[in-house]
C-alpha cells in the first residue's frame, strides 16, 4: 500500500521532503523577506492603506522553494516539469507586477494568463487524455480534445484570476487555497490520482503554511500577485489531475464567489454596460468587513468554515458513488 501511495518513493524521503519544504520556506522568508518590494497601499480596498510599507511578493520565495522541493523529492516527469514551469511563470509575472512602479495593465496580465493556460491545458491532454468524470454523479464523458482544451483553458484562466482577487485579507487566500488543495488531495486519493502528483500537492500546501506563519493577522509581509497567481494555476492543475475538473466548483466555491463576483461585475459593466451588485462591494471579503462589520479574523474563519463544510459534503457525496 505504501509503495502504491508513493509510487516507489521512499516513505522516509517523502517525509523529509515535506519537512524540507516547510523549514526552507520559513528560513528563506526570514532571511529574504525584508528584501522584497514594499507595498504602496491600496486606495480601493478596505483598510488597504494599512498594508503600506510591508514587504510584498513573498510568493517569489515560497513558490521557488516549492519548485525546488518538487524537483528534489518527487518523481520527476516531463509533465510535472511543464506544470512547474507554468507555475513559476505565473509567479514571475505576478512578482514583476508587484515590483513595478507602475502596475501592469489588466489586458497584459490577462493575455499572459491566456498563453500559460493554453500551454497547461495542452500538456494535460497530451499526458492524460480528454475524459471528464463527474465525480458527484459517478459518470464519465470523453470529449473531443479541442473541446476539452477550450474548457481547460477557461478553468485555468478563471482559477488564476479568482484566486488573485481573493487575496486581500491577512491569511485568507492562503488558507482557502490550502483548504481547496486538501479537498482535491482527498478526492484524488479516492480517484487514484497519480501518487507522485498527490505528493506534490502536499509539498505545495506546506510551502503555503510556511508563508502563513508570517502572514497571519497581523501580517508582516504579503504574498502579492506572485503568490496568488501561482496558487491559482496550481489549484486548476490539481482539479484536472483528479480526473474530475468540474469538482473545482465545489472545492473552491468560496474563492469563486469571493473573487469571481468582482470579475463578473467588472466584465458586465465594461463590455455590456450592465451594472449588477450595485450595493455589494467586491471582492466579497471587503463587503463583509466594510458593510457587515466583520473583523479580519472573523472573515478568514467564516469563509474557511463555509469552504470546509462544502468540501466535507462533496467528499461524502463522491464516496457514495
CA separation for the pair 93, 108 (Å, rounded): 10
Cβ-proximal residues to 251 (8 Å cutoff; 6+ apart), any chain = 180, 183, 184, 187, 239, 311, 314
**Which pLDDT score is estimated for 4?**
42
Max intra-chain CA distance, the chain: 58
**Which pLDDT score is estimated for 279?**
87
Residue 184's Cα: distance from chain center in Å?
Answer: 12
| Closest to 214 measured CA to CA, from 104, 55, 15, 40 | 55
**Which pLDDT score is estimated for 8?**
53
**Cβ distance 39 to 51 under 8 Å?**
yes
Segments in the chain below pLDDT 50: 1-6
CA separation for the pair 207, 181 (Å, rounded): 12
Whether the model pTM is above 0.85: yes
Cβ-proximal residues to 146 (8 Å cutoff; 6+ apart), any chain = none
**Which pLDDT score is estimated for 48?**
53
**Which pLDDT score is estimated for 46?**
60
**Which pLDDT score is estimated for 7?**
53
Give the pLDDT confidence of 229-259 residue by residue, as tens digits: 999 999 999 999 999 999 999 999 999 999 9
Domain ranges (residues) in the chain: 2-35+51-248
- List phi, psi (to 5°) of 53: 95, -15
DSSP class of residue 9 equals -
Give me the residue label for grid cell 488564476: 160
**Which pLDDT score is estimated for 20?**
98
Residue 133: helix, strand or coil by DSSP? strand
**Which pLDDT score is estimated for 312?**
98
Give percent above pLDDT 90 in the chain: 78
Amino acid at each position: 500500500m505504501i509503495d502504491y501511495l508513493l509510487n516507489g518513493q521512499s516513505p522516509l524521503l517523502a517525509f523529509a521532503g515535506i519537512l524540507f519544504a516547510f523549514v526552507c520556506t520559513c528560513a528563506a522568508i526570514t532571511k529574504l523577506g525584508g528584501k522584497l518590494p514594499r507595498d504602496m497601499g491600496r486606495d480601493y480596498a478596505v483598510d488597504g492603506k494599512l498594508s503600506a510599507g510591508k514587504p510584498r511578493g513573498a510568493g517569489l520565495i515560497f513558490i521557488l522553494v516549492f519548485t525546488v522541493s518538487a524537483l528534489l523529492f518527487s518523481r520527476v516527469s516531463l509533465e510535472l516539469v511543464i506544470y512547474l514551469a507554468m507555475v513559476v511563470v505565473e509567479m514571475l509575472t505576478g512578482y514583476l507586477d508587484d515590483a513595478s512602479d507602475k502596475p501592469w495593465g489588466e489586458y497584459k496580465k490577462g493575455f499572459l494568463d491566456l498563453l500559460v493556460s493554453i500551454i497547461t491545458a495542452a500538456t494535460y491532454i497530451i499526458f492524460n487524455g480528454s475524459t471528464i468524470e463527474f465525480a458527484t454523479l459517478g459518470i464519465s464523458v470523453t470529449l473531443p480534445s479541442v473541446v476539452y482544451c477550450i474548457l481547460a483553458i477557461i478553468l485555468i484562466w478563471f482559477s488564476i484570476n479568482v484566486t488573485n482577487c481573493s487575496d486581500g485579507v491577512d491569511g485568507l487566500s492562503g488558507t482557502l487555497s490550502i483548504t481547496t488543495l486538501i479537498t482535491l488531495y482527498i478526492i484524488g486519493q479516492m480517484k487514484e490520482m497519480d501518487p507522485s502528483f498527490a505528493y506534490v500537492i502536499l509539498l505545495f500546501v506546506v510551502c503555503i503554511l510556511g508563508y502563513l506563519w508570517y502572514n497571519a493577522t497581523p501580517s508582516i509581509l504579503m504574498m502579492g500577485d506572485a503568490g496568488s497567481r501561482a496558487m491559482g494555476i496550481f489549484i486548476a492543475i490539481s482539479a484536472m489531475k483528479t480526473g474530475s475538473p468540474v469538482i473545482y466548483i465545489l472545492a473552491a466555491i468560496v474563492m469563486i464567489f469571493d473573487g469571481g463576483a468582482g470579475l463578473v461585475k467588472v466584465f458586465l459593466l465594461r463590455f455590456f454596460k450592465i451594472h449588477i451588485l450595485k450595493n455589494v462591494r467586491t471582492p466579497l471579503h471587503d463587503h463583509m468587513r466594510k458593510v457587515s462589520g466583520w473583523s479580519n479574523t472573523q472573515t478568514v474563519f467564516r469563509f474557511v468554515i463555509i469552504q470546509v463544510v462544502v468540501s466535507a459534503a462533496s467528499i461524502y457525496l463522491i464516496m457514495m458513488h
